[in-house]
């Protein structure tokens, strides 16, 4: 039997038997296990080589089902849930006992999301448990946006990869909680700050790096490709690194002063931040397959998903570069 496919029944049977299945979502692929089954969840941590202090997002297919394992009572979070689910939004909610400590790393809140992908929604509707699923990449590496990305790095270790095609949004969900009564964003992602603020007004941003992060996705040197990446003004970076063989990541049609042997990769020729988000992780993976020495990337406009893209590029880049 091929490990990659679209067979919901196969996916369901593995999950019911404490297996691990990669699932498509609109943001990135997830590495899923029964969130009520500690033995299954532990496999996810092992496969990813993920530290136990980094909790998992729990995925379900309806707001009604959330009451089994979490408490959605805050009016502003309810507003966001009603407006943006299914979608690239994760809410931090008070958890219930049924959730193993491992899922939340012992934290009082649980991260919950209803993803917007028809295959995964169909799968979730067939299950009587939610799915704990981090992004389906080895810890610290770029998230997968295609089934073959998962197969390449984790194919040997998972039971099945449910192939839902290329992810439409392409970067991970935006994580929102409440702090001192105010909606707070802990991770920038596939739902823009502007869209969230349109619903609930001004929000706090807690997008920090710290040793004890609320969202370890915010650790520096996360989401990183295999080659050193530098972010900034492209022509400056090109002159500075002129002796190296470079991958130049472009956004828009401006000519760059590349030299022979350099390779250009386009995020969005027409300068559309949504298109750039969709292409970002695929492009970084494609660059890793080439023999260039370094990656140079521009800073995108700080509008819409541009903010989240800049955040990812910065975290993927060489510190203090
Ligand atoms: O789009 C996404 O969110 C994807 C898809 C598969 O849903 N998932 C994803 O998961 O990006 P992961 O594990 O790669 O990133 C989840 C982030 C981590 O930074 C984690 O620390 C944070 O969410 N997180 C999870 N549970 C949390 C909790 N209870 N409190 C605070 N942060 C939490
Ligand atoms: Mg991740």
- For residue 191, pLDDT over 50 is answered with yes
284 strand-pairing partners = none
- CA 192, 193, 195, 197: dihedral to nearest 10 degrees? 170
Name the residue with the closest Cα to ligand 1, atom 33: 215
Whole-number Cα distances in Å, 276 to 16, 265, 292: 37, 11, 21
Name the residue with the closest Cα to ligand 1, atom 6: 30
Q: How close is the Cα of 16 to the center of ligand 2, in Å?
A: 24
| DSSP-assigned letter for residue 318 | P
Q: Is the CB of 56 under 6 A from ligand 1?
A: yes
More confident position, 302 or 217: 302
Q: What string of DSSP letters covers 75-87?
A: HHHHHHHHHH-SS
**Contact of 161 with 133, CB cutoff 8 Å:** no
Mean of all residue pLDDT scores within the chain: 94
Q: Is the CB of 111 under 6 A from ligand 1?
A: yes
**Contact of 281 with 224, CB cutoff 8 Å:** no
Percent of the chain with pLDDT over 70: 94
Q: Is the CB of 113 under 6 A from ligand 1?
A: yes
Q: Where would I find the H helices in 128-229? A: 147-154, 193-200
Name the residue with the closest Cα to ligand 1, atom 21: 215
Mean pLDDT across the stretch 275-296? 97
Closest-lying ligand 1 atom to the alpha carbon of residue 27: 1
Q: Read off the pLDDT of residues 49-61 as tens digits, 9 standing for 90 and up.
A: 999 999 999 999 9
Q: What string of DSSP letters covers 271-287?
A: --HHHHHHHHHHHHHHH
Q: Is the CB of 134 under 6 A from ligand 1?
A: yes
Q: Where would I find the H helices in 17-97? A: 38-48, 63-66, 75-84
Q: Is the CB of 70 under 6 A from ligand 1?
A: no
Q: Is the CB of 55 under 6 A from ligand 1?
A: yes
Q: Read off the pLDDT of residues 65-79 as tens digits, 9 standing for 90 and up.
A: 999 999 999 999 999
Q: Is the CB of 172 under 6 A from ligand 1?
A: yes
What gap in Å lies between CA 176 and CA 195, rounded to an integer?
A: 13
- For residue 264, pLDDT over 90 is answered with yes
Q: Read off the pLDDT of residues 167-177 as tens digits, 9 standing for 90 and up.
A: 999 999 999 99
191 alpha carbon, closest ligand: 1
142 alpha carbon, closest ligand: 2
27 alpha carbon, closest ligand: 1
What gap in Å lies between CA 37 and CA 49, rounded to an integer?
A: 19
Q: Is the CB of 107 under 6 A from ligand 1?
A: yes
Closest-lying ligand 1 atom to the alpha carbon of residue 173: 1
Residue 212 has a pLDDT of 43
Q: Read off the pLDDT of residues 120-139 as tens digits, 9 standing for 90 and up.
A: 999 999 999 999 999 999 99
90 strand-pairing partners = 175
Closest-lying ligand 1 atom to the alpha carbon of residue 90: 3
Q: How buried is 13 (Cβ within 10 angstroms: 0-12 exposed, 13-18 middle, 19+ buried)?
A: middle
More confident position, 213 or 102: 102
pTM confidence score: 0.95
What gap in Å lies between CA 67 and CA 63, rounded to an integer?
A: 8
Q: Read off the pLDDT of residues 109-118 as tens digits, 9 standing for 90 and up.
A: 999 999 999 9
Q: Read off the pLDDT of residues 209-235 as tens digits, 9 standing for 90 and up.
A: 544 445 555 555 567 778 999 999 999
> 48, 90, 213: which to mutate for ligand 1, most atoms within 8 A of CB?
90
Q: How many CB atoms lie within 10 A of CB 12?
A: 18
Give the model's confidence band at 321: pLDDT under 50 very low, under 70 low, under 90 confident, else very high.
low
What gap in Å lies between CA 97 and CA 177, rounded to an integer?
A: 20
Whole-number Cα distances in Å, 8 to 4, 82, 160, 292: 11, 27, 10, 40
| DSSP-assigned letter for residue 242 | T
Mean pLDDT across the stretch 197-210? 87
């Amino acid at each position: 039997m091929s490990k990659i496919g679209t067979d919901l029944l196969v996916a369901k049977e593995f999950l019911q038997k404490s297996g691990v299945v990669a699932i498509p979502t609109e943001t990135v692929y997830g590495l899923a296990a029964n969130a009520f089954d500690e033995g299954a969840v532990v496999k996810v941590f092992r496969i990813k080589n993920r530290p136990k202090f980094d909790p998992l997002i729990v995925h379900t297919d309806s707001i009604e089902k959330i009451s089994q394992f979490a408490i959605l009572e805050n009016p502003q979070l309810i507003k966001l849930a009603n407006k943006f689910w299914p979608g690239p939004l994760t809410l931090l909610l008070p958890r219930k006992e049924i959730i193993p400590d491992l899922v939340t790393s012992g934290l009082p809140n649980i991260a919950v999301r209803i993803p917007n992908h028809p295959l995964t929604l169909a799968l979730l509707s067939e299950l009587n448990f939610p799915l704990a699923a981090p992004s389906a990449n080895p810890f610290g590496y770029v998230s997968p946006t295609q089934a073959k990305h998962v197969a390449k790095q984790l194919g040997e270790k998972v039971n099945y990869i449910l192939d839902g095609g290329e992810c439409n949004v392409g970067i991970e969900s935006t994580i929102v909680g409440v702090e001192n009564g105010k909606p707070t964003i802990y991770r920038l992602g596939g739902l823009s700050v502007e869209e969230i603020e349109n619903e609930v007004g001004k929000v706090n941003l807690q997008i920090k790096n710290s040793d004890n992060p609320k969202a370890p996705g915010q650790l520096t040197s996360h989401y990183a490709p295999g080659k050193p990446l530098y972010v900034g003004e492209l022509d400056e970076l090109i002159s500075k690194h002129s002796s190296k063989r470079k991958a130049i990541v472009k956004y828009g049609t401006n000519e760059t002063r590349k030299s022979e042997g350099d390779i250009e990769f386009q995020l969005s020729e027409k300068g559309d931040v949504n298109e750039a988000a969709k292409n970002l992780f695929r492009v970084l993976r494609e660059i890793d397959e080439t023999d260039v020495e370094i990656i140079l990337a521009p800073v995108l406009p700080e509008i819409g998903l541009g903010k989240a893209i800049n955040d990812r590029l910065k975290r993927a880049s060489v510190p203090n570069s």
